[in-house]
């Protein structure tokens, strides 16, 4: 079912999400379905369960619509349950990020260039995967949500000042989104 996306200022976005009980397959299926359906109408490239108000460690990433810019993402669609970054490179890169929970705000964020992540897929099989380039960026961005962090927490101080009014407008409910959204303090 399509869920509202919780906006910047919502408490659930600042919580450390709980691990999913892998034996509770019905809960997992429902969260994954809700994430996929919500992401499809919101037109993003990733979504974490806290963004739909569920403080559980599940994310989906989908780079398939970005192949005009990143052709290597043509088959990059992942569901990650209880994901953990087990390695990250010392080398970092900067990408301009945005977020469905922080509409209209974009900023450069520095993150590791490569990561190795372990997670369970939709079939509850354990996966270990090394990621780089934009796939790595998408996954890191979504995994940050599971720890209560948003991309705006990682921008340069001067950029924080520049975006402060936009963030205030979001927390004040003075924002319009093209998708169903919600602010819960």
Distance (Å, whole) CA 77 – CA 61: 6
Q: Other C-beta atoms within 10 Å of 21: how many?
A: 11
Are the C-beta atoms of residues 4 and 101 closer than 8 Å to each other? no
Alpha-carbon distance values, 34 to 16, 80, 111 (Å): 20, 14, 28
Query: What sections of the chain are H helices per DSSP?
Result: 25-42, 133-146, 157-171
Out of 26, 118, 130, 142, the active site residue is 142
Residue 129 is among the residues annotated as catalytic for this protein: no
Distance (Å, whole) CA 67 – CA 100: 20
Distance (Å, whole) CA 103 – CA 178: 10
96 forms beta bridges with 108
Distance (Å, whole) CA 51 – CA 86: 24
Tell which residue, 29, 46, 58, has the closest CA to residue 137: 46
Which residues are tagged catalytic?
142
């Amino acid at each position: 079912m399509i869920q509202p996306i919780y906006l910047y200022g919502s408490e659930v976005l600042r919580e450390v999400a709980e691990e999913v009980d892998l034996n509770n397959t019905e809960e997992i299926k429902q969260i994954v379905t809700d994430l996929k359906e919500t992401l499809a109408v919101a037109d993003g490239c990733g979504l974490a369960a806290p963004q739909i108000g569920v403080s559980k460690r599940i994310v989906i990433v989908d780079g398939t619509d970005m192949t005009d810019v990143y052709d290597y993402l043509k088959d990059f669609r992942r569901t990650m349950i209880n994901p953990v970054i087990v390695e990250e490179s010392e080398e970092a890169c900067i990408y301009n990020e945005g977020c469905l929970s922080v509409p209209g705000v974009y900023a450069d964020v520095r993150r590791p260039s490569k990561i190795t992540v372990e997670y369970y897929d939709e079939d509850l099989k354990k996966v270990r995967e090394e990621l780089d380039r934009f796939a790595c960026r998408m996954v890191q961005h979504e995994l940050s949500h599971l720890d209560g962090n948003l991309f705006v927490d990682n921008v340069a101080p001067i950029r924080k000042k520049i975006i402060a009014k936009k963030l205030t407008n979001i927390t004040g409910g003075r924002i319009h989104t093209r998708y169903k959204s919600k602010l819960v303090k």
